[in-house]
Structure 1
Amino acid sequence: MESTATDDLASLAASFPLLVYDHGEQPDNSHTLFSVADGSSRTCRVPELRSSRCACLETPCGLVLVADSTSSQCSLWNPQTGEKIALPALDRALPEYCRCLLSDTVSSPDCLVLINDVTQLELLFCHVRGGEEGSAWVSQPYDLGYYTVPESHSAPTRKEICNMAAVQGKFYYFMETVDEVGVLSLARDPEPRLEMSSFGATMPRFDGHAATLGATMSYLLESSQELFLVCLFFLGCNFERVEEVAAYKMDFSKKEWCKVTDIGDRAFLLGPHSFAASCSAGKHGLKRGCVYFAFDFFGVTNDIHIFDLREGTRELTGPDQDVPLPARQMFWMVPVCP
């Protein structure tokens, strides 16, 4: 294993996508960067990742949202080039549990940055490129109702948006049930806001012979301007083994999830907190048509599961054993979309 210290992520641009392992708190925290393409690992001390003032949120398009809690400055950082795009000031700290997505490529005049605050049931968004709408962040609360729980339970719990993907300028997510897909689209009447709509689409079920099917982990993602769903099916309550992995593409004309085993020259990258992204397999040295799943329920391994959708095979990879377990959950840094 190559293990060298660096503070220049641009020198590692050819090794993306990277899995980032965070090993501690200030002032001595460091990160291990593992390239799933070539199997190399490097110790990283990048200012954007180490600063106690800055919080970073990875996005499926590769850019990283960097928010400075002291100055309120906010930007989109390209870790492959070091370039930054200034955003409106953010006058609050980033929530502990949130996700960040871009509605389109940053070159699009209508591209939005969206922060989904899971704990406060609130959406924050702004325009990437100037104009009147780009002068400030807009806060928009939402209400999807309550989870259905037995009467014996105490206070009801509100439903939150956890699983979301951006495709061609719109954000898609699961509504009150997983058999309904929600849509967020920009509206101006006259102030900018996110308009919520939905359509029915039955969630795929495990079609295996076992009757003890337990949990299903579902990931929404964009790939080649299409909306995909990846499901990981588990048997019983055993989260140590994935029984089956399947991918589905949304047929918008039929409002139907259609199972696919051929995703072309793409690789799907899945991680904690419903993070899901797609990139070219051939260009970045990955296995074509595979799902890379980097998440350990119990926090005891650094394993990365690779599932071949066409062949139905699986394998394990990951950094060498001398890489300590991360203090916080790993996260992906993926190649930046042009």
Structure 2
Amino acid sequence: MTNGNAWATPRGWILIRDAAATFLPNPRDPDDKIQLAHLPEALHSRCSCVLSGKPTIPGCVVLLVEPVDTVIWYFHVGEDEEWTRHEYDIGIQMLDPPIDGKDHEKTPICSIGAYQGNRLAAGHALRITDPIAGGLGVSGAASEFSVESENDLYMVCQLLDWDIRTVYDVTVYKMDFSKHKWCVAEDIGGRVFLIAPWYFGPSCSAEECGLEKDRVCAIFAHYKYFEVSKVEDGETDEHELIDAPYSEHGMWILPTET
């Protein structure tokens, strides 16, 4: 398995494509593997991958979202004979300054999560009710992560500094479906959110994993450190990944029944 052909999912399973096969292995049990139809293309390592449910149940949707092109791939486990490629159009975004003479482009899906068996794009399409102190960080930029947890939908927002690398602040929002709006969350029900670059965001039981509750753990493998933030006030501690191998983007290895 290499970073070029593996996409971790929030449910613990990892989608792997090698030269001849595509499958979902359980990283904690090499004999536990679900065979899928072979992906016809070698996609970017920065694709986001989510599952609509447990892949051991027929009909579970495996969804891959390309990071730049407005393209998604999906496959129904145990039902489809091949992957479906779909080009979507959810509007345009302006380019300032223009790139290659173009001042706009199609808006790509940046943060996506599965909620109660459905795929849901989160972020700019849904209004945030509570103001963000200081705006979107010093640089006006942020990273967003969609997380389904205990039948609720959350969004983790990392506000970025001028270098577009340093996290300026961490805020967690909870979706109020009655108002179709994001509201600041004061806790996450005693859970822990484990996030990583390219919109990977699972939820785990803090007690079962031996971690402090109501925390957001974010890994920055490229720079060999990770951060732990309190949901209540955003207070963050930084920890070094000592002797960690070089990696463009890290992933959390999770149990498959989180």
TM-score (norm 1): 0.68
Does the alignment pair 1:89 with 2:89?
no
Distance change in 2, residues 1:212/1:81 (3 Å): closer
Does the alignment pair 1:266 with 2:186?
no
3-state SS in 1 of match to 2:249: strand
Distance change in 2, residues 1:233/1:118 (3 Å): closer
Does the alignment pair 1:112 with 2:61?
yes
1:143 counterpart residue number: 89
Matches of 2:142 and 2:215 in 1, distance apart?
19
Q: Specify the code of the residue in structure 1 equivalent to 2:13.
A: L
Contact 2:224 2:240 in 1 (8 A): yes
Does the alignment pair 1:242 with 2:242?
no
Matches of 1:150 and 1:313 in 2, distance apart?
33
Matches of 1:276 and 1:333 in 2, distance apart?
12
Structure 1 residue 92, shift from structure 2 partner = 2.2
Distance change in 2, residues 1:146/1:313 (3 Å): closer
Alignment of 1:50-199 (within 5 A): 55-69=5-19, 71=20, 73-82=21-30, 83-128=32-77, 130-131=78-79, 134-150=80-96, 154-155=101-102, 156-174=104-122, 178-180=123-125
3-state SS in 2 of match to 1:157: strand
Choose which of 128, 135, 151 in structure 2 pairs with 1:225: 151
Contact 1:67 1:94 in 2 (8 A): no
Distance change in 2, residues 1:285/1:56 (3 Å): same
Contact 2:15 2:24 in 1 (8 A): yes
Does the alignment pair 1:303 with 2:251?
no
CA-based RMSD? 2.7
Q: Specify the code of the residue in structure 2 equivalent to 1:92.
A: E
Distance change in 2, residues 1:167/1:88 (3 Å): same
Distance change in 2, residues 1:159/1:244 (3 Å): same
Q: Specify the code of the residue in structure 2 equivalent to 1:61.
A: R
Matched residues, number: 255
Structure 1: give runs of 5+ residues left out of the alignment.
Answer: 1-48, 181-199
Choose between structure 1 and 2 for higher RCO, CA contacts under 8 A separated by at least 6 residues: 1
Runs of 4+ in structure 1 over 6 Å off: none
Which protein is bigger by CA-based radius of gyration? 1
Percent of residue pairs bearing the same amino acid type: 29
Structure 1 residue 209, shift from structure 2 partner = 9.3
Matches of 1:124 and 1:267 in 2, distance apart?
29
3-state SS in 1 of match to 2:251: strand
Structure 1 residue 303, shift from structure 2 partner = 1.2
Matches of 2:160 and 2:208 in 1, distance apart?
32
Structure 2: give runs of 5+ residues left out of the alignment.
Answer: none
Q: Specify the code of the residue in structure 2 equivalent to 1:206.
A: I
2:210 counterpart residue number: 285
Structure 1 residue 160, shift from structure 2 partner = 0.9
Matches of 1:240 and 1:99 in 2, distance apart?
20
